[in-house]
Amino acid sequence: MNKENKTKFSNVYEDTKRAEAYSKLKFDKTYYLAYRDLPTIITNHAQGNTALDFGCGTGRSTRFLQTLGYKTIGIDISEEMITIARQLDPEGEYHRIDDGDFNRFPASSFDLILSAFTFDNIPTMEKKIRLFNGLSKLITQNGTIINLVSSPEIYTHEWSSFTTKDFPENAKAKTGEIVRIITTDIADKRPCYDIFWSEEDYATVYSKASLYILKKYKPLATGKEPYQWINETKLAPWTIYVLKKKT
């Protein structure tokens, strides 16, 4: 594993303006590829009907899981995000939690845990391992964790929903270092500060958290979608890991 950047990192999503902007995001353009295959992936690899959306933000992924028939709870550390999630989905269940505090949920509470983009914003190997250890205790013995993260390539190319051309230093980023990216689909054009993480180091995190990769997906566009693709047909902006407990 590469030496991690010791720069102090703060979660840019704990911000009212940013929360409001992200609440308007749709399942289209580059984000379409993040969610397109999830129904099939979940059908193939998950059982049961209870789900946890870890890092739910304004509830987009929580509501997505609800449409698939899952009784879903959304959790996030951002009060701003949870407030909007409850406004958008008054009948849903959303909780603001302290960082890594899963004590309100009994062990083996969920058949499925989805974490969509959350680990892009979580620094250090130690913290990632600690969180996955906590999440693994919340799934049933045969439960599934799906971790949807940004591929390393997303930070060095242009996309239908993102731009990184103003941040050439991203190309030299190592695991644990801060990278910047701008979402072009929202009104808030401030860059997001993410944590670069290689696929090799994600594998290390999972193994140290007593999880194994059952399947890894790298979704590409076919070119037949109704979007103006830039690199999406050649490079996968996202990586989807299907994780299980080690026996």
Residue 219 sits in a domain of what CATH number?
3.40.50.150
Q: How far apart are CA 206 and CA 244, in angstroms?
A: 9
Bridge partners of 39, per DSSP, are none
In a domain, 49, yes or no: yes
In a domain, 125, yes or no: yes
Torsion of CA 4, 7, 10, 11, to 10 degrees: -30
Range of the domain at 140: 16-153+197-245
In a domain, 161, yes or no: no
Q: How far apart are CA 160 and CA 236, in angstroms?
A: 12
Total Cβ atoms within 10 A of residue 240: 22
State the average pLDDT over residues 205-224: 98
Q: How far apart are CA 83 and CA 104, in angstroms?
A: 19
pLDDT at 155: 98
Secondary structure letter of residue 237 according to DSSP: S
18-44 pLDDT, tens digit per residue, is 667 666 667 899 999 999 999 999 999
Q: Which one, of 77, 66, 59, lies nearest residue 131 by Cα?
A: 77
The gap between the terminal CA atoms of the chain, to the nearest Å, is 25
In a domain, 176, yes or no: no
In a domain, 149, yes or no: yes
In a domain, 231, yes or no: yes
In a domain, 186, yes or no: no
In a domain, 3, yes or no: no
127 vs 2, residue with greater confidence: 127
Reply yes or no on whether the pLDDT at 15 is more than 90: no
- The model's pTM: 0.91
Q: Which one, of 30, 95, 92, 94, lies nearest residue 67 by Cα?
A: 92
Reply yes or no on whether the pLDDT at 9 is more than 60: no
Q: Quote the number of domains for the chain.
A: 1
